[in-house]
Amino acid sequence: MLGGTALTVDGAPVDLARSVAYKGMMVSGVPNLAMAMGYTNASWTLKCELIARQVCRLLNHMQRNDLDICVPVHDDPGAETEPAIGLSSGYVQRAAGVLPRQGARHPWRVYQNYVRDLLALKFSPLHDGAMRFARRRNR
């Protein structure tokens, strides 16, 4: 994951396996980082395109509103999570320690359904209670 890059936020290391995937495209607590992970049961590029368009929506919104930071915040630490990829394949099981997890419901659930993702990514509001926006303090 991330090509072995050591991910940090404000100097603190990020353990992706303890984070939660936001709409299958961002990671809780990590600002301005998007990733494209496609479907395991359909064309990989279908979801990647939805994610790319959602990232463009976020960037355009941030530019229009003079914002620098977008970060999904999973503020229910007691909520149950499960692996982001629900496959029992050996390679998926071996990677579980470096992949973000998923929650029980939207926007923390990683769906394997194009229609659900289309609604969640293309037509849902950007300000959904989980995504936080801000300006840098020192500009």
> Has residue 127 got a pLDDT over 90?
yes
Q: Indicate the residue type of 54.
A: Q
Supply the pTM of this predicted model.
Answer: 0.88
Paired residues of 27 in beta bridges: 21
Per-residue model confidence as pLDDT tens digits over 64-110: 999 999 999 998 877 888 877 766 677 666 666 778 889 988 899 98
What is the per-residue pLDDT for 30? 96
> Which residues have CB under 8 Å from 111's CB, separation 6+?
24, 117, 120
